[in-house]
Structure 1
Amino acid sequence: MALNNWSAWAHGLPLRSTVAALATGCALFGAEPARAQTVFDVIGPHEYDLPVNFDPFNVFVQYAYVQNDSQRWDANGDLVDGSGAQRIVGLSKYVHFWTPDFNRNIGLAWEIIQPEISIRDRGAVDPADRHRSGFGDTYTGFAAWFKPTPQSTLGIQSFLQIPWGDKSVSDGNWKNLTSMLWYTPLIWELDWTGDAGFMWQSPLVDGVKPGTTFYTNNRFGWRVNQWLEPFIALDYEHSDAYGIVPESWVFDGGLGVMVFTYKGQSITARYSTSFKGQNHSDNNSWNLKYVYTW
């Protein structure tokens, strides 16, 4: 069954169960040249397969990933040994969705995202840095969209990251992440979910202002049946140089599956790796997403 058939889908799993919550932020831990996860790579298929003209509803999403920094991309674009650290990150998100009365042909959402972070680095020189954990900097923001066709979505989202997390896992500066978002069915039972945007940052505590990061995330899914959708993930980001930190970029790919479980719920699992990069961590991560709507 094609997921974009909203009226038919509502007789099976509810419409709201198909709305994976809007994309959340990346985890940027420190200002080291070997950067962390690609911005917004937590999204799954149908992340932006969104309705208009609907009654208000709520979504809770729990994202989680485990990243092993066993390798990194150096200045020459070669893979070399990484720090060996392991990062375990959770992102707990609440979203409220509604359609404004002044125009029922658009959709709106407001969300709050709280990161939970654990970094294990047995090779750290300072014993205090071998295990850092705590609540990261909170994200909050909005999204707005319309449907150019009955089955597709086009919109914009913007998030502010507030630097009040635990000092051991916060770099202490403000961030704004703004991007266009889209969803469209393709041929057969294939579909495309994607976003493209930038991340702006305020100066760090030492006064150095990080460069702007540009990113795009794309998910190409194939709906096998009512319950199962395998997909391909492609992610890219580029960060401008600043201070003594050089320009960096990375191109990632992954394979995953989205499972539509019980009424109003779904689970998505994915493994991602890096194809090529420069001055950036090599992606070696397992990713999980759980969605509940009411």
Structure 2
Amino acid sequence: MSQFTLAAPKKTSLAILAAMAALCGPIAPAQAQTTFDVIGPHEYELPVGFKPFNVFVQYAYVQRNNKAFDDDGDRVKGSGANTTVGLSKYVRFWTPESNPSIGLAYEVIVPEIGVKDRSTSSQVSGIGDPLTGFAIWYKPTPSSTLGFQSFVQIPVGNDSVSDSNWKNLSSLLWDVRLTDKLGWTADAGFVFQNEKKDGSRPGTTFHTNHRLGYRVNGLLEPFVAVDYERSRKSSTVDSSHALDAGVGLMFHTFDNQSITLRYSKSIEGENHSFNNSVNLKYAYVW
């Protein structure tokens, strides 16, 4: 894998950054998907010692809410609504001149959300609660990355799609290039949130996300995905958890662009929506 130098980034390094561009994902509406499950292969394969650059990422997913998990962990009928979400992200990457062995990033994410319920012929849509925050990392070895990220989700979205409360999403992140073709990228962290407008206060959520990808050639990289989250019980909200698995394919299309497709489905859970989604990610570096 080509790496950044202090003089200038190589084009192959830009392709890697386009692949891993996003550093976080917001909590999906109605908890249809687990926290941070938008990540893909190379997500945290981050450089150090580079000149500042920018990344734009557009995520999109379609979730079919035809099933849900009840408090016994059984699969029951869901709402039947279809949720479509877009996530537009801008990220600024840089390295401190005083310490080029550390990398930094600051980003802003704006969700676009639409929910259509065919059973009632109703539909709501709007701009969701935006997120902003930072990440910091270093490379313990040339083939690994270890870092920390923290973001705030601000309840200023449209009333029809806003969660109506403040959130902090903080997690450790890591990436290990196991071989020249095989790589593992992952995170583990917590979501803290305050009371919603309806008086409910969700408990703290723990989450972890894992991607194992194999680069078969210069263009294609199939991968498997595992996502898990567990929320503690609070005085107003029951505890819940979900375990999801998925398969995907990453297209390393151009030196500074990439496209990633993934299908994700829940394996088991409790008091949680059933994930049944198709996910898309496009990343562009300049």
TM-score band (shorter)? over 0.9
Provide the residue aligned with 1:97 in structure 2: 93
Provide the residue aligned with 2:69 in structure 1: 73
Provide the residue aligned with 1:51 in structure 2: 47
Provide the residue aligned with 1:200 in structure 2: 192
Task: Give the partner amino acid of 2:42.
Answer: H
> Distance between the aligned counterparts of 1:167 and 1:183, measured in 2?
37
Provide the residue aligned with 1:174 in structure 2: 166
Q: Which of residues 255, 260, 282 is equivalent to 1:268?
A: 260
Task: Give the partner amino acid of 2:119.
Answer: G
**Moved segments of 4+, more than 4 Å:** none
Provide the residue aligned with 2:270 in structure 1: 278
SS of residue in 2 equivalent to 1:6: coil
SS of residue in 2 equivalent to 1:167: coil
Provide the residue aligned with 1:150 in structure 2: 142
Instruction: Report if the CA contact (8 A) 1:5-1:151 is conserved.
Output: no
Deviation digits for residues 3-56 of structure 1, max 9, x if unmatched?
A: x3437xx76x431221122333234435xxxx3210000000000011000000
Provide the residue aligned with 2:114 in structure 1: 118
Provide the residue aligned with 1:257 in structure 2: 249
Instruction: Report if the CA contact (8 A) 1:218-1:234 is conserved.
Output: yes
SS of residue in 2 equivalent to 1:103: coil
Provide the residue aligned with 2:38 in structure 1: 42
Deviation digits for residues 137-162 of structure 1, max 9, x if unmatched?
A: 01000000000001110000000011
Displacement of 1:188: 5.8
Displacement of 1:73: 1.0
Instruction: Report if the CA contact (8 A) 1:269-1:288 is conserved.
Output: yes
> Distance between the aligned counterparts of 1:212 and 1:120, measured in 2?
29
Instruction: Report if the CA contact (8 A) 2:21-2:57 is conserved.
Output: yes
Matched, 1:191 2:187: no
Unmatched tracts of structure 2, length 5 or more: none
Instruction: Report if the CA contact (8 A) 1:155-1:182 is conserved.
Output: yes
> Distance between the aligned counterparts of 2:113 and 2:44, measured in 1?
26
Instruction: Report if the CA contact (8 A) 2:200-2:236 is conserved.
Output: no
Task: Give the partner amino acid of 2:118.
Answer: R
Provide the residue aligned with 1:29 in structure 2: 29
Instruction: Report if the CA contact (8 A) 1:26-1:37 is conserved.
Output: no
Displacement of 1:187: 4.0
Closer, same or farther in 2 for the Cα pair 1:204/1:71, shift >3 Å?
Answer: same
Task: Give the partner amino acid of 1:40.
Answer: F
Deviation digits for residues 63-110 of structure 1, max 9, x if unmatched?
A: 000000011111111111111011000000000000001100000000
Instruction: Report if the CA contact (8 A) 2:201-2:236 is conserved.
Output: no
- Aligned residues, how many? 281
Closer, same or farther in 2 for the Cα pair 1:226/1:28, shift >3 Å?
Answer: closer
> Distance between the aligned counterparts of 1:98 and 1:188, measured in 2?
26
Provide the residue aligned with 1:289 in structure 2: 281
SS of residue in 1 equivalent to 2:233: coil
- Identical aligned pairs, as a percentage? 56
Provide the residue aligned with 1:18 in structure 2: 16
Matched, 1:236 2:236: no
Instruction: Report if the CA contact (8 A) 2:247-2:263 is conserved.
Output: yes
> Distance between the aligned counterparts of 2:54 and 2:66, measured in 1?
39
> Distance between the aligned counterparts of 1:182 and 1:50, measured in 2?
9
> Distance between the aligned counterparts of 1:73 and 1:98, measured in 2?
43
Instruction: Report if the CA contact (8 A) 1:65-1:285 is conserved.
Output: yes
SS of residue in 1 equivalent to 2:254: coil
TM-score (norm 1): 0.92
Task: Give the partner amino acid of 1:61.
Answer: V
TM-score (norm 2): 0.94
SS of residue in 2 equivalent to 1:97: strand
> Distance between the aligned counterparts of 1:188 and 1:49, measured in 2?
13
Task: Give the partner amino acid of 1:140.
Answer: T
